[in-house]
Structure 1
């Protein structure tokens, strides 16, 4: 991989919290000796090396060393872990005077002397004192650890002997479990594997033990050997920006977001934006290193939040959905970013293989896509990120105004069916061809009918001539006319073969580049595949030989036919001379023999049309049958699309059971029909359109057939006036066929439950909702089921805090495990209740056109970073729940 300086700079920036694999109850070698545990290691050094090596193998990045009432026994293992790049947190396992074991863990840089003093305050004066802190019971120890010692406490092996829920009974157990100072407990596996009485407490379902904030559950158990580190119950994943007591505290406060047990599913890898950097413009020299989960951009008005969102949209070549969004986007590109500014975006794809791509765009030029080696690719940003979505400020509200765009949003939840897409495309082309062919065949058949309509009169005239004796007198010339017609038909039978020869010549030489050494160089069985080269060469030779034979055959046929014509011309000359003599005699009697011959010639020309008419009738019937079949298949495809959308709508309604309901109307988008009618029929159509729009059920095929049935049928079926129906019935057949072929989109209906939590549902359609409620409904859909990034500028706009806290934030928290979000916001609920992995604070000086924004490293991180925590407190406002959470998280 070629080093990219911009990417290297981005990766050096903080990108917030991430999961660390942690083993939080590792015992030192002295613990094994003191408690007579079996071990294969003869020395502390060997044991420490083995523990550290196994940590590296297992990907364990954080360990806590928790001997019973002793810190000194951990010091060598701590040093050994640090030398291997593993973060070691010092601590001890305390036994309270009421018999409960508690893990007390400290910051990695906490000095041993301070921890010795803490142990002394517990009444522990000797390193190997029995495991009981005689001075404190469980409640007292938890209170001291939190408020005096700055330690993170975990109730060890909570359901086993000496565990809080095992050892304590009745009210003492309730008091300890419901203490505000208890943040976490440890179990050796999945919650479902715990005894039922303990499981209900862990899940916060036991009324007696119920807490406002659940106790965080971690996997941790005694590690007495390297092998113990490989057992599932010994480790868990904890999300922190930096490993610290504050990081653990934030994780314990929000375990659903920040703790993953060994039994929990591993989140799927998803497409993610690594970062963005600017060269020039309002954000000159700035860069951001995105987190793979929830990213929140905060800052005062004019600090550049929207500029970042629109920068991403511009680089990714995504079009705004509405006119207001377009105006905002164009204004930021022109006046804030400005011509000459270079924006670089880096992304990481995981399928089919893990790869990094860069997209660079200098305003106003098109983007350039490169791979990790710097090679320019013949691809577009949309090829790499086909499902990424960017929405500017208020743009989601604009989206709610278009049922068609809502259906496009629903299509995100439909599994892509390449076969159905191809089938639909093929059918659309086939229907267009069938329309052209059917109309052309009908036109030619009508022309034949028009010509044959004159034949009876011509034949009647011929009879009168025959009765006058001209047939016998001009018999030879009459027969000559028939012979000439037959002879002139011969070249028309040769001509198609000659045209076929010309087409065959165009197919040669056969392209064999796909079998070249270069084309096959990466294929393991290329030698077998290359055996097709002589096959194609022989085939080409045979085709050339066949062409030569056909050319010779055509030339021979034409030559021999010409010889026949020359021989026949001799008789034609003789007959013609006799014919002219007879005409001169007839003229003496004032009889026009020339007219008789012209009549005979015209009749001879028309008579073959009867056979041709029969052929065209059959062709028209066949074309009509083919079209009926195509229309039936077209209906099947349309129905299949509708079924897929309906299934997606039902699935979404199920997932958002008490929030949003989605339904789909079959071919509800009728504007393409109205546009065609205005273009091809014209006149006053608004009343007709209103009548058609009022119908819940509408079939294009039925409408076209009724137009064919005539004025009366249209009046009866669609309740039109005589003039309206007459205008429709008079439309060309081409128009009626085009109506049958139209692609009317299915339209999406969204209902939002506007009732408060725990109240009976009150479902309201989008038309009956406020702007903010509409945006809520659509935003809930946007948060669902995608592995592509979602970028939204101030999604809370127009929303009240209840909808954010009860609807948006819970869904965001659930989906961020599987998807990257980048939100710009001024609302505390999103980063605080959503537990944003990365919060980036922006500050600016001067106006956008001449000023400059900056994003400093100390303003990048999650809320366990003090400077970020302070920035959030200064800049953001929120609802009651957000402030309460802030009190828990930030201490105010």
Structure 2
């Protein structure tokens, strides 16, 4: 599409194939009167209008008019349905020469005269509804209708005049195995049928086995299409079913009957088979750049981008990654992404993406990003939202060309993929973060305490010498001469201590003032306007306001108390000051007298002052020793809980691995190893210990179950303890034993991530399993194992650029396609591909054909409207044949060479 007027509009229904509720055996007035004995009046138009109105009420969008041997009532339904979004297929119901009822349905534009000619080919020449037999047997009717351009459904096969009731023995087997038999009508679900019929329909009866069954458990497509003779009949589940089509037509029905697992849902399965509880990318458009003017509507299920080299498939994928603000996981993928953004999208290009978010912020949004600016999220009313793309699409995944293969080289990145299957315990996550913070706090506190203790010990180490010198002065009688000045030193120290006791509270007041007033912007009406629980959350604003006001009052009282204390301390000093002056005057006089007798009184007072200043440090040292003990005990308790939480998280991951392994039973095995990634430890040792540690690092990497607490304990125990536990040489063991306490505590706080080991069953289908680890697999097999993991259930879209580049073709058909078909019911996929198996066998709901014009740097690309649809669109079929199969002639040549 290139029309600029379409860029900012989004279709009300998804593009591509969608489910239509179909009533395929609707009868006109004549049938109701003749075969039902209804007193329905004589107005055929009113009868048709009533049924069409009921159909519109029930969202039945497809009606097939199939009266017995008559097409006279079709026009009434066509007139009634005009302009109401309901497609009317004309047709009739035949009775074969054996007595089997068959529904014959034709294109909606087939006129009455042509339909009557078709009836004539079956020997039906008299107008009006009748029970006359056709002149052709059942199998011939199927073939004739196919050649006429129509499609057939074997009516009520398990009831009177049904295929499985009329025929017996070999005649029934031959009819059942006819290639022209594409669909049957049953009253309810297959599982509710009589076992004898059920085994035939599910292809489990070997006598009736069809060589090419329509589905995994269906020999032939089954539909619910019971007779509708009056509007109320449409309320019955047996009268309608759901059929997925891109273009409502005979080809759409044919494709659905060829692939009923993907395209047909029986009504008793519980309403419309559409899941609205998963996130969906709805449409993508560009302004400027290589895809200027292109708008891609997207389907909620499987979307496949096709096109020749340089058509822009990778540009579409990387545009999605860019507008969502997602970073590539691999280095090579990052370079490729940056290259496309810089040289293909180019600066100034605007990418717009409409999305439907499931949770936590359900609703519709539009994400816009102009190169090179960050993304902007808008609401349905075009207002800018505070949400980010990650907020509204938290689990979306985008993988560029070869990126999946690149991921297989890292067991740590594989663990990251596995983590999305873990049942998240929010309380565990919060507690883990809290413990991590507290461990860092205790480390800093312990180191600060130990540093202060070390400084105190250095200062207190001088005290014995000072006291010894002072004793000699005291022995000479100076204590008596200078007693008042000595006591004054002690008094001054006490006065200083009073002020020192106040200072910590002054600092706390400053800290409190910095946090006030409490910031509450995140609870404003604008911030909460998009949240469903905004009325509840808004109460938090009042709580924080009351708390802020109360703390402001407390801070004011706190400040007043400190000022009062300062005044009172100053008053004490003022009262003490005369005494200090008198003592100092007497002291100066005594010093002059001592100087005459060659005695150093000043040195005595200096010693006394220094000793008095050191004396309180003894008490401080005892307090610090106690604090250190408490901090170490607190840290030990935190470390125990830290290890328990890491173990609990690993158990959740291991459970997820087991669950994934069960769901991929027979295809992929998943194993996780706790603390398998030693890189954080290696990096820390190299950074903070250094030296020749290579041999020790190798040993630590090879220890099967490395315990960090045990390793740290041995380091603290010294070189011998370390070598006894770990077979290291003396040199690296000595380096580790000499590591600082800071380093050892940092090691205790490390989290060694688990690693994931994947094994793929490389045996062919039906053979005994042959399990190989990723290291033993080819690049394609590695990518297959990872892609199977990615395809498991999620409510977020998965986008992959040309996955087949790294996949083996057999694994695509046997492993990837079946999983894709199963999961697309509940999840959106967007793939670009050159491989026909993905859109055809995967039955893509939307195939988008891109057409290039020039090279990527200077050229452009477009998507023609006729190249947007499903495989039931003829133009799309031809596009797939040409691009992915090499054209019809090439396909036929291969078929003949293979002997198919």
TM-score norm. by structure 2 comes to 0.91
Give yes or no for contact 2:360–2:392 (8 Å, CA) kept in 1.
Answer: no
Instruction: Please name the residue that 1:195 is paired with.
Output: 194
CA offset digits 1:231-276 (Å, max 9, x no partner): 2221111011111111111000000111111233634222222222
Tell me if 1:788 matches 2:788.
Answer: no
Counterparts of residues 213-252 of structure 1 (less than 5 Å): 213=213, 214-252=219-257
CA distance, structure 1, for counterparts of residue 356 and residue 535 of structure 2? 33
Of the structure 1 ranges 852-861 and 505-514, higher mean CA displacement relative to structure 2 is found in 505-514
Tell me if 1:599 matches 2:598.
Answer: no
Tell me if 1:670 matches 2:678.
Answer: yes
CA distance, structure 1, for counterparts of residue 339 and residue 238 of structure 2? 55
Instruction: Please name the residue that 1:403 is paired with.
Output: 411
Instruction: Please name the residue that 2:396 is paired with.
Output: 388
CA distance, structure 1, for counterparts of residue 698 and residue 572 of structure 2? 70
- Structure 2, gaps ≥5 residues long: 214-218
Deviation at 1:171, TM superposition (A): 2.2
Q: State the SS of the aligned residue for 1:796.
A: helix
Q: State the SS of the aligned residue for 1:720.
A: coil
CA separation of 1:438/1:149 partners in 2, compared to 1, >3 Å: closer, same or farther? Answer: same
Instruction: Please name the residue that 1:733 is paired with.
Output: 741
Deviation at 1:183, TM superposition (A): 0.8
Q: State the SS of the aligned residue for 1:493.
A: helix
Deviation at 1:619, TM superposition (A): 0.9
Q: State the SS of the aligned residue for 1:856.
A: strand
Instruction: Please name the residue that 1:268 is paired with.
Output: 275
Instruction: Please name the residue that 2:865 is paired with.
Output: 857
- Structure 1, gaps ≥5 residues long: none
CA distance, structure 1, for counterparts of residue 660 and residue 322 of structure 2? 30
Tell me if 1:622 matches 2:652.
Answer: no
Deviation at 1:529, TM superposition (A): 9.1
CA separation of 1:83/1:278 partners in 2, compared to 1, >3 Å: closer, same or farther? Answer: closer
Tell me if 1:68 matches 2:68.
Answer: yes
Deviation at 1:764, TM superposition (A): 0.8
TM-score norm. by structure 1 comes to 0.91
Instruction: Please name the residue that 1:49 is paired with.
Output: 49
CA offset digits 1:134-162 (Å, max 9, x no partner): 4222222222222x322211121222222
Give yes or no for contact 1:348–1:354 (8 Å, CA) kept in 2.
Answer: yes
CA separation of 1:387/1:14 partners in 2, compared to 1, >3 Å: closer, same or farther? Answer: closer
CA separation of 1:721/1:840 partners in 2, compared to 1, >3 Å: closer, same or farther? Answer: same
Deviation at 1:449, TM superposition (A): 2.9
CA separation of 1:155/1:735 partners in 2, compared to 1, >3 Å: closer, same or farther? Answer: same
CA separation of 1:550/1:35 partners in 2, compared to 1, >3 Å: closer, same or farther? Answer: closer
Give yes or no for contact 2:33–2:40 (8 Å, CA) kept in 1.
Answer: no
CA separation of 1:11/1:885 partners in 2, compared to 1, >3 Å: closer, same or farther? Answer: farther
Of the structure 1 ranges 866-875 and 504-513, higher mean CA displacement relative to structure 2 is found in 504-513
Instruction: Please name the residue that 1:434 is paired with.
Output: 442
CA distance, structure 2, for counterparts of residue 633 and residue 816 of structure 1? 42
Tell me if 1:749 matches 2:745.
Answer: no
CA distance, structure 2, for counterparts of residue 14 and residue 632 of structure 1? 54
Counterparts of residues 142-153 of structure 1 (less than 5 Å): 142-146=142-146, 148-153=147-152
When the two chains are superposed, the root-mean-square deviation of aligned CA atoms in Å is 3.5
Give yes or no for contact 2:243–2:263 (8 Å, CA) kept in 1.
Answer: yes
CA separation of 1:509/1:753 partners in 2, compared to 1, >3 Å: closer, same or farther? Answer: closer
> Which of residues 803, 821, 845 in structure 1 aligns to 2:811?
803
CA distance, structure 2, for counterparts of residue 10 and residue 524 of structure 1? 29
CA distance, structure 2, for counterparts of residue 637 and residue 496 of structure 1? 36
Of the structure 1 ranges 474-483 and 693-702, higher mean CA displacement relative to structure 2 is found in 474-483
Give yes or no for contact 1:342–1:363 (8 Å, CA) kept in 2.
Answer: yes
Instruction: Please name the residue that 2:216 is paired with.
Output: none
Deviation at 1:116, TM superposition (A): 1.7
CA separation of 1:827/1:567 partners in 2, compared to 1, >3 Å: closer, same or farther? Answer: closer
Q: State the SS of the aligned residue for 2:758.
A: strand
CA separation of 1:489/1:413 partners in 2, compared to 1, >3 Å: closer, same or farther? Answer: same
CA distance, structure 2, for counterparts of residue 450 and residue 222 of structure 1? 102
Give yes or no for contact 1:14–1:857 (8 Å, CA) kept in 2.
Answer: no
CA distance, structure 1, for counterparts of residue 696 and residue 520 of structure 2? 59
Number of aligned residue pairs: give it: 884
CA distance, structure 2, for counterparts of residue 151 and residue 396 of structure 1? 45
CA distance, structure 2, for counterparts of residue 176 and residue 524 of structure 1? 61
Counterparts of residues 318-717 of structure 1 (less than 5 Å): 318-351=326-359, 355-502=363-510, 540=549, 550-583=558-591, 590-717=598-725
Give yes or no for contact 2:524–2:538 (8 Å, CA) kept in 1.
Answer: no
Q: State the SS of the aligned residue for 2:24.
A: strand
Instruction: Please name the residue that 1:179 is paired with.
Output: 178
Deviation at 1:104, TM superposition (A): 1.3
